[in-house]
Amino acid sequence: MYPISRHSPRLHLRELHPGDAEGLFAIYGDARATEHMSFDPRTRDDVDAIVARSITSAALDPRQEYALAVTDNGDGRLIGFGRLALDPHQPRAATFGFALRPDTWGNGYGTETVRLLLASAFEDLGLHRVWGALPAEHRLRPDHATRRAHRGGPHPRARPSRGPMAGLGDPLHPRPRVLRNSISELT
């Protein structure tokens, strides 16, 4: 499917543009944002290549990867990056990952981003399963999960799942990691 375009109250999930490299570099080039991810901070050249490769992959048919920008509805600035990658081993399933610009953390944008990605996966792409992985440091405490539920709960199709799972790698160097915990606890 092309193009993906979804809005939440504050955010827009959309296709990547060539001009997004600078915004993505503010995330992938930042040591805080990549601290718990499977790769070291990227150089600007790396990020240019990721954006170019993502734009190329968006035009493939069938499309296997949805590398998407998350922008602010108000000023249009890129604040995040989300990725859905169709799972070649499971029909209608995908892995997903996301990262936001560190200076935006703590304002609920992460939750809003996950909801946008899941809504796009289930409603735009008609997938049956989306899964991801978090490093143990990201595991939400029960009180976090409870507060999340009181704010409206997860997407209707989101289900907590546990057990070892292969995590997402960087688009340039897919390096699956086996991790515990499910991203669905963030929703």
CA 72, distance to chain mean position in Å, is 16
Euclidean distance between CA atoms 38 and 179, whole angstroms: 11
* Region near ligand COA per CB under 6 A, out of 6-14, 46-54, 133-141, 174-182: 133-141
Euclidean distance between CA atoms 81 and 45, whole angstroms: 17
The reply on whether position 177 binds ligand COA by CB under 6 A is no
The reply on whether position 108 binds ligand COA by CB under 6 A is yes
Tell me which amino acid residue 120 is: S
Query: Are 97 and 83 a contacting pair, CB within 8 Å?
Result: yes
CA distances from 25 to 129, 156, 172 (A): 30, 33, 14
Query: Are 51 and 24 a contacting pair, CB within 8 Å?
Result: yes
Map residue 78 onto helix, strand or coil. strand
Among 66, 109, 122, 131, which residue sits at the site for ligand COA (rule: CB under 6 A)? Answer: 109
Among 17, 36, 128, 175, which residue sits at the site for ligand COA (rule: CB under 6 A)? Answer: 36
Give the x/- contact pattern for ligand COA in 138-157, rule: CB under 6 A: x-x---x--x----------
Closer Cβ to ligand COA, 36 or 159, answer by number: 36
* Minimum CB distance to ligand COA, residue 92 (Å): 21
* Minimum CB distance to ligand COA, residue 115 (Å): 10
Among 11, 16, 134, 158, which residue sits at the site for ligand COA (rule: CB under 6 A)? Answer: 134
Which one-letter DSSP state was computed for residue 184?
Answer: G
Q: Give, as ranges, the residues between 47 and 106 that touch ligand COA (CB under 6 A).
A: 97-100, 105-106
Residue with tokens 């920008």: 69
The reply on whether position 28 binds ligand COA by CB under 6 A is no
Among 59, 62, 88, 137, which residue sits at the site for ligand COA (rule: CB under 6 A)? Answer: 137
CA distances from 6 to 89, 107, 114, 118 (A): 27, 20, 12, 11
Closer Cβ to ligand COA, 4 or 110, answer by number: 110
Which one-letter DSSP state was computed for residue 102?
Answer: G
Binding stretches for ligand COA (CB under 6 A): 33, 36-37, 97-100, 105-111, 132, 134, 137-138, 140, 144, 147
